[in-house]
Structure 1
Protein backbone atom coordinates (compact mmCIF):
# COMPACT_ATOMS: atom_id res chain seq x y z
CA UNK A 1 0.00 0.00 0.00
CA UNK A 2 1.45 3.34 -1.05
CA UNK A 3 1.39 6.28 1.36
CA UNK A 4 -0.77 9.16 0.28
CA UNK A 5 0.33 12.58 1.44
CA UNK A 6 -1.47 15.88 1.21
CA UNK A 7 0.05 18.74 -0.76
CA UNK A 8 1.06 20.34 2.55
CA UNK A 9 2.71 17.07 3.68
CA UNK A 10 4.71 16.87 0.47
CA UNK A 11 5.87 20.48 0.78
CA UNK A 12 6.93 19.87 4.38
CA UNK A 13 8.88 16.71 3.47
CA UNK A 14 10.60 18.56 0.61
CA UNK A 15 11.53 21.46 2.87
CA UNK A 16 12.98 19.05 5.42
CA UNK A 17 14.89 17.22 2.68
CA UNK A 18 16.36 20.50 1.49
CA UNK A 19 17.46 21.22 5.08
CA UNK A 20 19.19 17.83 5.36
CA UNK A 21 20.89 18.30 1.98
CA UNK A 22 22.15 21.78 2.89
CA UNK A 23 23.51 20.63 6.25
CA UNK A 24 25.14 17.54 4.71
CA UNK A 25 26.87 19.61 2.05
CA UNK A 26 27.95 22.20 4.62
CA UNK A 27 29.51 19.37 6.64
CA UNK A 28 31.49 18.34 3.54
CA UNK A 29 29.84 14.96 2.94
CA UNK A 30 28.78 13.45 -0.36
CA UNK A 31 25.42 11.75 -0.10
CA UNK A 32 27.05 8.33 -0.34
CA UNK A 33 29.75 9.03 2.26
CA UNK A 34 27.21 10.49 4.66
CA UNK A 35 24.90 7.50 4.29
CA UNK A 36 27.83 5.15 5.01
CA UNK A 37 28.86 7.27 8.02
CA UNK A 38 25.43 7.07 9.65
CA UNK A 39 24.54 3.53 8.63
CA UNK A 40 21.70 4.25 6.23
CA UNK A 41 21.39 3.29 2.58
CA UNK A 42 22.35 5.95 0.03
CA UNK A 43 19.07 5.50 -1.81
CA UNK A 44 17.18 6.05 1.45
CA UNK A 45 19.10 9.31 1.99
CA UNK A 46 18.32 10.35 -1.58
CA UNK A 47 14.64 9.78 -0.87
CA UNK A 48 14.90 11.86 2.30
CA UNK A 49 16.59 14.71 0.48
CA UNK A 50 14.01 14.66 -2.31
CA UNK A 51 11.15 14.71 0.20
CA UNK A 52 9.98 11.21 -0.68
CA UNK A 53 10.50 9.64 2.74
CA UNK A 54 8.68 10.12 6.03
CA UNK A 55 11.47 9.40 8.50
CA UNK A 56 11.38 7.35 11.68
CA UNK A 57 12.54 9.02 14.89
CA UNK A 58 15.67 6.86 15.22
CA UNK A 59 16.72 7.76 11.69
CA UNK A 60 16.30 11.45 12.53
CA UNK A 61 18.67 10.87 15.45
CA UNK A 62 21.21 9.13 13.18
CA UNK A 63 21.15 12.03 10.72
CA UNK A 64 21.50 14.63 13.48
CA UNK A 65 24.36 12.73 15.13
CA UNK A 66 26.11 12.37 11.77
CA UNK A 67 25.88 16.14 11.30
CA UNK A 68 26.95 16.71 14.94
CA UNK A 69 23.81 18.70 15.74
CA UNK A 70 20.76 18.08 17.90
CA UNK A 71 17.54 16.68 16.47
CA UNK A 72 15.91 19.98 17.48
CA UNK A 73 18.44 21.92 15.38
CA UNK A 74 17.87 19.58 12.44
CA UNK A 75 14.15 20.33 12.59
CA UNK A 76 14.58 24.11 12.32
CA UNK A 77 13.78 24.90 8.70
CA UNK A 78 11.30 27.08 6.85
CA UNK A 79 8.21 25.10 5.96
CA UNK A 80 7.26 26.07 2.43
Structure 2
Protein backbone atom coordinates (compact mmCIF):
# COMPACT_ATOMS: atom_id res chain seq x y z
CA UNK A 1 0.00 0.00 0.00
CA UNK A 2 1.43 3.38 -1.05
CA UNK A 3 0.94 6.51 1.03
CA UNK A 4 0.84 10.08 -0.20
CA UNK A 5 0.99 13.23 1.90
CA UNK A 6 -1.75 15.64 0.85
CA UNK A 7 -1.94 19.23 2.03
CA UNK A 8 -4.21 22.27 2.11
CA UNK A 9 -1.41 24.84 2.14
CA UNK A 10 -2.52 26.71 -0.97
CA UNK A 11 -6.11 27.17 0.22
CA UNK A 12 -5.00 28.16 3.71
CA UNK A 13 -2.45 30.59 2.30
CA UNK A 14 -5.11 32.07 0.00
CA UNK A 15 -7.52 32.34 2.95
CA UNK A 16 -5.04 34.69 4.63
CA UNK A 17 -4.20 36.54 1.41
CA UNK A 18 -0.56 35.48 1.55
CA UNK A 19 1.75 34.95 -1.40
CA UNK A 20 4.15 32.03 -1.45
CA UNK A 21 6.94 34.53 -0.83
CA UNK A 22 5.18 36.00 2.22
CA UNK A 23 4.56 32.55 3.72
CA UNK A 24 8.16 31.58 2.99
CA UNK A 25 9.41 34.66 4.82
CA UNK A 26 7.26 33.85 7.86
CA UNK A 27 8.75 30.34 7.94
CA UNK A 28 12.35 31.23 7.09
CA UNK A 29 12.45 29.21 3.86
CA UNK A 30 12.51 30.00 0.16
CA UNK A 31 9.45 30.58 -2.00
CA UNK A 32 10.46 27.52 -4.01
CA UNK A 33 10.25 25.39 -0.85
CA UNK A 34 6.67 26.55 -0.28
CA UNK A 35 5.87 25.83 -3.93
CA UNK A 36 7.29 22.31 -3.82
CA UNK A 37 5.46 21.48 -0.58
CA UNK A 38 2.17 22.84 -1.96
CA UNK A 39 2.57 20.73 -5.10
CA UNK A 40 3.46 17.55 -3.22
CA UNK A 41 6.98 17.39 -4.65
CA UNK A 42 8.65 17.83 -1.26
CA UNK A 43 7.55 16.35 2.08
CA UNK A 44 8.31 18.90 4.79
CA UNK A 45 10.25 18.07 7.91
CA UNK A 46 8.38 18.07 11.20
CA UNK A 47 9.95 21.42 12.05
CA UNK A 48 8.82 22.98 8.76
CA UNK A 49 5.32 21.50 9.13
CA UNK A 50 5.07 23.08 12.60
CA UNK A 51 6.34 26.42 11.29
CA UNK A 52 3.79 26.33 8.46
CA UNK A 53 0.99 25.55 10.91
CA UNK A 54 2.02 28.43 13.17
CA UNK A 55 2.35 30.85 10.23
CA UNK A 56 -1.11 29.90 8.96
CA UNK A 57 -2.65 29.76 12.46
CA UNK A 58 -3.91 26.22 11.90
CA UNK A 59 -3.14 22.87 13.57
CA UNK A 60 -0.77 20.64 11.62
CA UNK A 61 -3.57 18.10 11.18
CA UNK A 62 -5.62 20.71 9.31
CA UNK A 63 -2.79 21.23 6.82
CA UNK A 64 -1.57 17.68 6.17
CA UNK A 65 -3.16 14.26 5.81
CA UNK A 66 -2.04 10.86 4.57
CA UNK A 67 -3.87 9.20 1.73
CA UNK A 68 -3.37 5.47 1.20
CA UNK A 69 -3.71 3.92 -2.22
CA UNK A 70 -3.96 0.19 -2.94
- TM-score tier (shorter): 0.7 to 0.9
Specify every segment of 5 or more residues in structure 1 that has no aligned partner in the other structure, as ranges: 1-5
Shift in alpha-carbon separation, 1:59–1:78, aligned structure 2, 3 A: closer
TM-score calculated relative to the size of structure 1: 0.71
More strand by share: 2
Q: How many residues align?
A: 68
Query: Larger relative contact order (C-alpha < 8 A, sep ≥ 6)?
Result: 2
**Counterpart position of 2:55:** 66
The answer to which structure has the higher helix fraction is 1
Q: TM-score, normalised by structure 2?
A: 0.79
